[in-house]
Amino acid sequence: MPAAEGMAGLAKGLAILELFGEAAPKLAISDAARLTGLNRAVARRCLLTLVDLGYLTHDGKHFLPTPRLLRLGDAYVESTALPQLAQPHLAAVREHVQESASLAVLQNDDALFIARSEVKRIVNTGVRIGASVPAYTSATGHVLLSALSTEDFTAYLDRSEFHPRTPKTPVTPDEIRRRVDLVREQGAAFTDEELEYGLRSLAVPVFDSRGRTVAAMSVSATAGRISMDQLRDEFLPVLRDQAEQLGRKL
């Protein structure tokens, strides 16, 4: 069955990747075959596929890991540690502005919320941990989209379908591009009832030690309580300060 073949191929490739380490910084085809129990032809195909994917490089004799391989480990470390590291900073935002604060990452073209600190009110605004919203509809999503390369962002616009959540939702590629470009200029995103009627939001990027955007920190409030001027003048400095403090831990 093709699916079985695909899974077997993936397992073989992962087995080879797991060989690399301090004791084996580089491998020849014969090494990979011997250590995994694969025949030389299969080991060679796996190694060359990993080269094509950018995880390994080949000097003519040996295969060596590239920096892209680090992303596999980074994904685990960031996804497991980030919510715990962010929680006290989200709580600090909540205490300063008396509105709920959240942290989200980009997953499958959506903003996925992985941490949150809520105010105690009968009706809370925003979304819960584990929920996701289309990136183009939210301030959080605009921040996360702004971190994409030009090529990746163009590909996102080309493959996506945009549907209005409210009459204010940006639903054309040109408008979404304009909003994301504005985030790159200002270092923050604002939405005013684009995601949900009566909901205003502010989001800023969280940078790690390499300067990469790893998440977006946001605040949401009802339009009846908070004006857009308050978001800019009062909330933005607090949110930026806590996002910077979180980033220094990453």
Among 65, 83, 118, give the residue marking a domain's end.
65
| CATH (domain of 220) | 3.30.450.40
CA 191 to CA 201: how far, in whole Å?
Answer: 5
**pLDDT tens digits, 96-111:** 999 999 999 999 899 9
My answer on whether 90 and 116 are in the same domain is: yes
CB-based burial label for 70 (10 Å; 0-12, 13-18, 19+) = exposed
In 70-174 the beta strands, taken as DSSP E runs, fall at 100-107, 110-117, 132-134
Phi, psi of 70 (to 5 degrees): -65, -25
CA 162 to CA 177: how far, in whole Å?
Answer: 13
CA-based nearest residue to 231, from 115, 113, 129, 93: 93
My answer on whether 118 and 143 are in the same domain is: yes
Q: What is the mean pLDDT of the chain?
A: 89
Contact 143, 189 (CB under 8 A): yes
Give the per-residue pLDDT at 97: 95
My answer on whether 76 and 42 are in the same domain is: no
My answer on whether 61 and 105 are in the same domain is: no
My answer on whether 108 and 7 are in the same domain is: no
**pLDDT tens digits, 113-144:** 999 998 876 455 557 788 889 999 999 999 99
Q: What is the mean pLDDT of residues 13-35?
A: 87
* Ramachandran category for residue 54: left, alpha or beta (phi over 0 → left; psi -120 to 50 → alpha): left
My answer on whether 105 and 145 are in the same domain is: yes
Give the per-residue pLDDT at 10: 84
**This model's pTM is above 0.85:** no
My answer on whether 25 and 136 are in the same domain is: no
**pLDDT tens digits, 35-85:** 999 999 999 999 999 999 988 999 999 999 887 776 666 555 555 688 999
My answer on whether 127 and 206 are in the same domain is: yes
**pLDDT tens digits, 214-232:** 999 999 999 988 999 999 9
| CATH (domain of 31) | 1.10.10.10
My answer on whether 185 and 241 are in the same domain is: yes
Identify the domain containing residue 54 by its residue range.
Answer: 2-65
